[in-house]
Amino acid sequence: MAVIKATEKDVETLARLMRAEAEGEGVQGMLMVGNVGVNRVRFDCLDFGDIRNVQQMVFQSPGGFEATTKSYFYQRARPQDIALARRVINGERFHPASRSLWFFEPPGDCPATWYDQPNTGRYKAHCFFSPIPENCPRI
């Protein structure tokens, strides 16, 4: 059962985002990016209090995703990417992104915190950060 409402356009947009942000990190990396996106829609807190759907999440400004400024984001979603997007929309979670709202690729080691939010782990090049419960009780 879906954990967020998503139209076919939403599924395709999320699939394109996951590929554009993490294709080089394989299926697992793409799924983790999907977790972050779904979490931003699900949890009404911090920078994402006004985010209610996938389109708002992907194109949020400021605070959106760098990939939306690149031409490869606008390529058609492939069937395998759509299948991955459906998995995260249906609630599959992958550590360290299971409760994360942010990720980025640092030039070196992951910092312990990012904007006061703790690091929950690294997968290949990306570091993931989850809010502390006081800042986001629903997560």
Stated as kind and residue range, the H or E segment containing 51 is none
- Give tens-digit pLDDT for 6-30: 999 999 999 999 999 999 999 999 9
What is this structure's pTM?
A: 0.96
Q: How far apart are CA 93 and CA 89, in angstroms?
A: 10
Give the list of residues 6+ apart from residue 61 with CB closer than 8 angstroms, or none: none
Whole-number Å distance between alpha carbons of 55 and 6: 9
Q: Which residues have a Cβ under 8 Å from the Cβ of 108 and sit 6 or more positions away? A: none
Distances (CA, A) of 91 to 38, 56, 84, 114: 9, 19, 11, 25
Which tens digits make up the pLDDT trace of 23-67? Answer: 999 999 999 999 999 999 999 899 999 999 999 999 998 888 999
pLDDT digits (tens, 9 = 90+) for 99-121: 999 999 999 999 999 989 999 99
Show me where the domains of the chain are located: 8-129
